[in-house]
Structures are given as C-alpha cells and as structure tokens.
C-alpha cells in the first residue's frame, strides 16, 4: 500500500505512542531493556516500523521538517534489521527512553 506523507506521519506517531505507553504502563526500566531478550524483540518491531515509514517519507517533507533527524531514525531501522547481532542495546535504550518521547512531541505538531 502506498501511503501519503501525512498517513506515514500518523503511523510513525501511533507506533511511537504504543511503544512509549507499553514501556510506561509496564514500568520497564533501561536495565530491563538491556537484559531481557524477549523485551528487546518486542521494542524492535515498532522501531522497524517507525524507521521504514520515515525512510519512505518524501524528501520534500523531510526537508520541510528538517528539525527532525529523519536520517538517524531510518538509519536505526537499517542497523537493527541488517546488524541485529551487533545491536548496541545501550543506544536502543536511550532511543526508547529519551528520543521516542521527544519524537512524539515533534510529530504531534505535524498532525
């Protein structure tokens, strides 16, 4: 299915919200994410989806909203998919606990 930029932003936002809510509602800590393999698998799916939608946003949209680090987001997806065994979970924990809440705030402005 071909999505518009607006649809992609909505999907990115929804995935980020669901991931953040799961972490908060289940009282998950960074330490949990660093050591719990099933939890690591759980957080990668929304990160894949977010990264894939970001990758497919039009370059015009990305340029118009250059305050968001689009290339970092899509690059994270690429690293998770193609170098999963080399994943630095400290970085992923920082993304989940620090960057996702910031991304949610940014994307909310676009909706």
Asked whether the beta carbons of 30 and 93 are under 8 A apart, the reply is yes
* Residue 5, C-beta contacts closer than 8 angstroms, at least 6 positions apart: 57, 58, 61
In this structure, the number of other CB atoms found within 10 A of the CB of residue 102 comes to 12
pLDDT at 53: 97
Q: Contact, 51 vs 73, CB < 8 A?
A: yes
**Residue 90 has which token pair?**
């400290």
pLDDT digits (tens, 9 = 90+) for 98-110: 999 999 999 999 9
pTM of the model: 0.92
d(CA 38, CA 17): 20
Residue 48: exposed, middle, or buried by beta-carbon count in 10 A (0-12, 13-18, 19+)?
A: middle
pLDDT digits (tens, 9 = 90+) for 6-29: 999 999 999 999 999 999 999 999
Of the chain, the end-to-end C-alpha distance in Å amounts to 21
Domain ranges of the chain: 5-110
């Amino acid at each position: 299915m071909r999505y518009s930029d607006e649809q992609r932003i909505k999907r990115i936002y929804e995935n980020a919200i669901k991931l953040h809510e799961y972490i908060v509602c289940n009282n998950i800590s960074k330490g949990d994410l660093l050591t719990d393999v099933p939890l690591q698998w759980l957080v990668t799916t929304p990160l894949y989806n977010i990264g894939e939608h970001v990758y497919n946003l039009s370059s015009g949209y990305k340029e118009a909203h250059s305050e968001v680090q689009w290339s970092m987001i899509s690059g994270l997806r690429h690293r998770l998919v193609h170098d999963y065994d080399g994943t630095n979970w400290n970085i992923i924990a920082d993304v989940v606990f620090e960057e996702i809440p910031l991304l949610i705030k940014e994307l909310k402005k676009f909706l």
